[in-house]
């Protein structure tokens, strides 16, 4: 995952705007799928899907079904 280092010496994930939401960017589909599994396990986030960003060469997570994202 692409990250930047902030002033507190912590790493923050790269993000981009998708509509009115600031979303985390994942470099590969596989990386996004792993993040979805981690979110499901750690935060009980069910039914997350991954999709390719239409604004860049990266991937995002969504809680909406594929048909509802447009």
pLDDT tens by residue, 14-38: 999 988 999 999 999 999 999 999 9
Find the helix or strand (DSSP H, E) in which 22 lies: strand 21-24
User: Whole-prediction pTM value?
Assistant: 0.76
Share of the chain above pLDDT 90, in %: 61
Mean pLDDT for the chain overall = 86
State the residue range of the domain holding 20: 3-62
The total domain count for the chain is 1
| Cα(60)–Cα(69) distance, integer angstroms | 12
**Dist. CA 29–CA 37, nearest whole Å:** 13
């Amino acid at each position: 995952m692409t990250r930047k280092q902030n002033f507190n010496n912590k790493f923050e994930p790269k993000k981009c705007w998708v509509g009115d939401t600031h979303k985390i960017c994942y470099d590969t589909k596989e990386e996004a799928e792993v993040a979805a599994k981690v979110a499901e396990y750690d935060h009980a986030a069910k039914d997350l899907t991954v999709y390719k960003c239409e604004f860049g060469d990266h991937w995002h997570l969504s809680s909406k079904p594929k048909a509802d994202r447009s």
